[in-house]
Structure 1
Amino acid sequence: MDEIEHIIKHYRNLTKLSITVIYALCVAIAVNIFWTPGHIYGSGIMGLAQLLSSVSHRWLGQTFSIPLIYAILNIPLLIISWRKIGHNFTFFTILAVAFSTLLMKSLPPVKVQFDPIICAIFGGVFNGFGTGLALKNEMSTGGLDIIGIILRKRTGKSVGSINIAFNTLVIIGAGFLFGWVFALYTLLGIFVNGRVIDALYTRNQKLQVIIVTSHPNKVIQQIQDEMRRGITIVNDVEGAYGRRPKTMLFTVISQYELQDLRNAIHQSDPYAFVSITKAEMIMGRFYQEHIY
């Protein structure tokens, strides 16, 4: 048993190592080929690094490279992560930051000048794909991820307001440095980046599930075997067509668990009626697995 667990852990570590390389390559492509030539800024720490690099070039007479600033901004956050979050989590975060810094430094800037809208969209797609893939595989990309996890542990609240503040600063900086048209392009790039991340990283998206079944015990047992979810039971429900007694089950899952739910329903009662809708807000106890 210990040998199997060791093999599984080794496989997961190799997978995470591969994902860090893919993430780093995506970030380098987004920054060097699309965002920097198009005067478009990314979101979070990356956008702040781009902003500071532009400020140093314009007003200090000396250009500090984006990879250097990006690495420096992440160093104190990685130290905090090592002390407050966990060593294994921080180790792969360090690799993600290090690989992305090296690839941004080594990947030559593109000579072709794309339209700024193309730069904003494709930069957002590449960066969002890399970030979403990393988050989906239970990894962090550094920067605001670390701040968000620490705040969530201490306060139970999300880091949404910090993300908004950072990105607002980046957008305003783009407006002052390159004009407000480029601020709009930056906003477009940040929006695309966020949408791609949401498409890949679905763990935080909640779904409300209503199941009408004639075999409630089988369905409940199968769902609880597949997932760690509570279920509310409504008895004495009657189907209008056949006037047959039914049971209605109510639960909330994450988008990440949708396939597990489908498998559970198919195995326990493939004829059950299931309604799934997005849950805008959840109040009360809801189990959320952490990525560290």
Structure 2
Amino acid sequence: MEELEKVIQRHQNFTKLSVALIYAVCVSIAVNIFWTPGHIYGSGITGLAQLLATLCNRWLPLTITIPLFYALFNLPLLVLAWKKIGRNFTIFTVAAVILSTVLMRILPNVQVKFDPIICAIFGGVFNGVGTGLALRNELSTGGLDILGIVLRKKTGKSVGTINIAFNLIIVIGAGFLFGWVHALYTVLGIFVNGRIIDALYTRNQKLQVIIVTSHPDRVIKVLQNEMRRGITIVHDVEGAYRHTPRTMLFTVISQYELPDFRTSMSNSDPYAFVSITEAKMIVGRFYQEHIY
């Protein structure tokens, strides 16, 4: 058993390192091939590094590259992660940051002639894919991720306000440096980036599930054994066509858990009627597994 756990751990570590490399390639393509040539800025630490590199190159007698700013901004956050979150988390985050810094440095800035809208969209797609895959595989990409986890552990709140403030600074900077049309393109790039991340990282998206079944005990047992979810039972419901007695079950799951839910239903009652809708707001206790 102990040997098996070691093999599983090695496989997980290899997967995380592979995803860190994929993220580094994606963010490097986004910054060097699409965003920087198109005068578009990304979100968070990446966008701030682009903004300050542009300011230095334009008004100071020295050149500080985007990768250098990216590494410098992440350094204090990595120290914070080591102290407040954990060694294992920080090691893989350091790997993602180092790989991203190196690849942004060695991948040449391509002077493409793409329309700025194309640069904004494709930069957002590449960065969103890299970040979404990293989050999906329980890997941090550094930057505001670290601050968000620390704040959540300390206060129970998210880092949404800080994210908005950071991105607002970046958009305003893009407007002053390249014109407000490019600020709009930056907003477009940030929006596309966010939508791609949401499509890949579904752990925080909630779904309301209604199950009408003739085998409630079996369904409840399987769901509670395989998924940590509370279930509300409504007895003595009746089908309008055949007037057959049924039981209705209510629960809420995350989008991330949907494949597991489908498997559980197939194993417990494949003939149950199931309705799944997006839950806009959840009030009350909902178990959300924190990765870190």
User: If the length of structure 1 is used for normalisation, what is the TM-score?
Assistant: 0.98
Q: Which residue of 2 aligns with 1:287?
A: 287
Residue 171 (structure 2) pairs with residue 171 (structure 1)? yes
Q: Shift in Å at residue 291 of structure 1?
A: 2.1
Unpaired runs of 5+ residues, structure 1, are none
Aligned pairs, how many? 292
Q: What SS does structure 2 have at the residue aligned with 1:282? A: coil
What are the equivalent positions in structure 2 for 1:40-79 lying under 5 Å apart?
40-79=40-79
Q: What SS does structure 2 have at the residue aligned with 1:62? A: coil
CA distance in 2, matches of 1:54, 1:92: 29
Q: What SS does structure 1 have at the residue aligned with 2:246? A: strand
Q: Shift in Å at residue 50 of structure 1?
A: 0.5
User: C-alpha deviations, 1:89-137, integer Å up to 9, x for none?
Assistant: 1110000000000000000111322110110000000000000000000
User: C-alpha deviations, 1:244-273, integer Å up to 9, x for none?
Assistant: 111111111100000111111111111111
Q: Shift in Å at residue 54 of structure 1?
A: 0.9
Identity within the alignment, %: 73
Q: Shift in Å at residue 286 of structure 1?
A: 1.2
Q: Shift in Å at residue 162 of structure 1?
A: 1.2
CA distance in 2, matches of 1:154, 1:284: 20
CA distance in 2, matches of 1:232, 1:148: 33
Q: Which runs of 4+ in 1 moved over 2 A?
A: none
CA distance in 2, matches of 1:237, 1:209: 16
CA distance in 2, matches of 1:158, 1:237: 40
CA distance in 2, matches of 1:168, 1:111: 27
Q: Which residue of 2 aligns with 1:187?
A: 187
Q: Which amino acid aligns with 1:109?
A: N
- The answer (yes or no) to whether the contact 1:54–1:63 under 8 Å persists in 2 is no
Q: Which residue of 1 aligns with 2:265?
A: 265
Residue 109 (structure 2) pairs with residue 105 (structure 1)? no
What are the equivalent positions in structure 2 for 1:148-227 lying under 5 Å apart?
148-227=148-227
- The answer (yes or no) to whether the contact 1:208–1:251 under 8 Å persists in 2 is yes
Unpaired runs of 5+ residues, structure 2, are none
Q: Shift in Å at residue 36 of structure 1?
A: 0.4
Q: Which residue of 1 aligns with 2:39?
A: 39
User: If the length of structure 2 is used for normalisation, what is the TM-score?
Assistant: 0.98
Q: Which amino acid aligns with 1:67?
A: P
CA distance in 2, matches of 1:87, 1:183: 38
CA distance in 2, matches of 1:139, 1:203: 13
Q: Shift in Å at residue 160 of structure 1?
A: 1.4
What are the equivalent positions in structure 2 for 1:10-21 lying under 5 Å apart?
10-21=10-21
User: C-alpha deviations, 1:177-209, integer Å up to 9, x for none?
Assistant: 000000000000000000100010000101111
Q: Shift in Å at residue 220 of structure 1?
A: 0.7
CA distance in 1, matches of 2:111, 2:167: 28
- The answer (yes or no) to whether the contact 1:41–1:50 under 8 Å persists in 2 is yes
Residues 41-50 or 109-118, more deviating? 109-118
Q: Which residue of 1 aligns with 2:7?
A: 7
What are the equivalent positions in structure 2 for 1:115-130 lying under 5 Å apart?
115-130=115-130
Residues 244-253 or 180-189, more deviating? 244-253
- The answer (yes or no) to whether the contact 1:232–1:251 under 8 Å persists in 2 is yes
Q: What SS does structure 1 have at the residue aligned with 2:230? A: coil
1:111–1:59 distance in 2 versus 1, CA, 3 Å: closer
CA-based RMSD: 0.9
Residues 209-218 or 147-156, more deviating? 147-156
Q: Which residue of 1 aligns with 2:234?
A: 234
- The answer (yes or no) to whether the contact 1:40–1:185 under 8 Å persists in 2 is yes
Q: Shift in Å at residue 62 of structure 1?
A: 2.1
